[in-house]
Structure 1
Amino acid sequence: MALIGYARVSTVGQENGLETQKHFLEEAGCKRIFFEKVTGTSTIKRNELKEAIQFLDKGDTLIVTKIDRLARSIIDLHNIVKELNEKEINVRFLKENIEFQAGENNSSLQTLLFNILGSFAQFERDIIVERTGEGRERAKKQGKHMGRPSKNKKAIEKSLKLYNERESNGMSVNDISKITGVPRSTIYAELKKR
């Protein structure tokens, strides 16, 4: 009857969140913890979650710090918990203080609370996506550049000048790229524009 932990953050820059989850999972008695850096909306790419589920045996308990660390969609949340319960694996959420015992009839109140908290996790994620989209649109309307910052204009102009003078200077596009720091693809893209 092992206690196995699962910790997840959405992006690579959130390593602190993994450390915090690790602390709580170890405090809860987890001897093995699976760590993942991937969005919670995709169960397809969540290899560590799949490994954790395969690692668990009948009677074990999967412990997660919060419901939204296991899934950000109510459908995925139900599917994961159902799969675990069918394998007779318990699921415990520390922050919400909910545990689903495999093979037992969990209380109606517990199921209601689980559904409400799962819905809030999905709602929170939907709001984040909506606000991000609105912010992106607002920035575009204000003329702000979206995506990667463009290379320094002076460096691009210098690379184009060297390109146009390549008969006299004997430089290849690779040479120009090394000297100016402007990638070959950018040089060709700028030439195509003009």
Structure 2
Amino acid sequence: MVRRRRMVRDYDPDRPVPADVRERLLAHAIRAPSAGFSQGWAFLVLETAEERDRFWSATTDAGAPDGWLTRMRRAPLLVVPFSNKQAYLDRYAEPDKGWADRDESRWPVPYWDVDAGMASLLMLLTAVDEGLGACFFGVPGDKVAALRASFGVPGEYRPVGCLSIGYPGDGDRRSPSLRRGRRGVDEVVHRGRW
């Protein structure tokens, strides 16, 4: 499954994701690890044509979409994972953790985002296991406010990206970025010393 996972950028618009598969994707997402079992994630599920159109209107520029966007817009399911930093600060202020000051500087990296990313990866892998294609892509920073407004997202939740999910379409092709080649293990692994 890991070796078969790739980002799919074109979808068959006539094949919706079955409800039981959608629920498995979400059930697997919440199995992701989270610091202190904080579980500070949330997922916005967009399935209807109106919901998906509203997402694309909020997160893309006006005008005719390019080829990438045209193919991505065919996905019958969008899942927007959100992280909630406050859930982590609150959890680590509890007696068993003891960071009552809720000082964000204690966190070397934003684990709220890391954990939402891990949940996203579990959805990507579940999609492969279910015979679906999926792609994780970013929400432009200047479009986050419009996304929040369009869907009533509370201020403490931040989108970490979006997953498009569906059955691969005929126009799916490999990303030109792949021409760069995958870096080898010997290039990225440092054993015992950098």
TM-score of the superposed pair, with normalisation by structure 2:
0.22
The structure with higher relative contact order (CA 8 Å, sep 6+) is 2
Whichever structure has more helix as a proportion of its residues is 1
Larger CA Rg, structure 1 vs 2? 1
